[in-house]
Amino acid sequence: MASPISLGILISGSGTNLQAIIDAIEQGELTAAIRVVVSNRSDAYGLTRARRQGLPAVVLLHKDFSSREAFETELIKTLQDYHVELVVLAGFMRLFSPFFIRTFPQRIMNIHPALLPAFPGTHAQRQALERGVRISGATVHFVDEEIDHGPIIVQAAVPVYPDDSEESLSARILTQEHRIYPQAIQLFAEGRLEIRHDKVIVHNEARFFAATLRSPESA
Ligand code: GRF
């Protein structure tokens, strides 16, 4: 049994992915402990979820800082004060400088609502609809210095229907996000992720693969 890994979760909004991680820990599916939740918005509903759970919830508003580096320095200090081992970006709408990324090498995960490398950036679901793709999905990846880029850990696919709106597609993808984010973190907690030549090797993947592979029809 792996020992619980210490998470710092960064949010900006509703925090449904945060909730999925909380639930997975409570259900014994994720061997992790959330040490701190940080939001760069004071009105993020995810803060309420964190406090309801008795978790330390910190608000750091970037406008209170003179520069990006000053903001990130304070954020790094907060994460280190709580002995965070893995930084989990869960709807955190702020770009990081290399300074932040290099402080947590291969220890920052992000979830993106598209099958990367397709549709990085904002409004990924809208981009998918505009391009008329038949399949989209969600990607959990390690964060590197490019936007929505870095070694891919887990993906899940969903169908895109002709009558989909941005909302309906987002909801279908979000359901899969809630499933794969805890799984990706659990793989990390178990020490099963190795990055080799910018690719993630999942050790003992045979056991894991069947559990995570979803054909779009079943979404
Ligand atoms: C998710 O779709 C995530 O992929 C994107 O922002 C959304 C956050 O949702 N980066 P929530 O705050 O976890 O509900």
What is the tally of helices (H) and strands (E) in the chain?
7, 9
Hunting for tokens 């925090």 — which residue is that?
A: 15
Q: Residue 170: what pLDDT?
A: 98
Q: pLDDT tens digits, residue range 95-106?
A: 899 999 999 999
pLDDT of the residue at 207: 65
| CA trace torsion 184, 186, 190, 194 (10° rounding) | 10
User: Which secondary structure element, helix H or strand E, spans residue 154, and what is its range?
Assistant: strand 152-159
- With a 6 A CB cut-off, is 72 part of the ligand 1 pocket? no
Question: What number of other Cβ atoms are within 10 A of residue 157's Cβ?
Answer: 19
Mean pLDDT (the chain, rounded): 94
Please check whether residue 2 is in contact with residue 190, taking contact to mean a CB–CB distance below 8 angstroms: yes
Per-residue pLDDT tens for 173-214?
Answer: 999 999 999 999 999 999 999 999 999 999 987 766 655 556
Residue 56 carries which DSSP code?
-
Please tell me the distance between residue 86's alpha carbon and the centre of ligand 1 in angstroms. Answer: 18
112 catalytic? Reply is: yes
Among the atoms of ligand 1, which is closest to the Cα of residue 177? 4
Model confidence pLDDT, tens digit, residues 107-149: 999 999 999 999 999 999 999 999 999 999 999 999 999 999 9
Cα(90) to ligand 1 centroid in Å equals 6
pLDDT at 108: 98
Q: What was the pLDDT predicted at 205?
A: 77
Buried b (16+ CB within 10 A) or exposed e, 207-218: ebeeebebeeee
**pTM score over 0.85:** yes
Q: Evaluate whether 95 touches 149 at the Cβ level (below 8 Å).
A: no
174 lines ligand 1 (CB under 6 A): yes
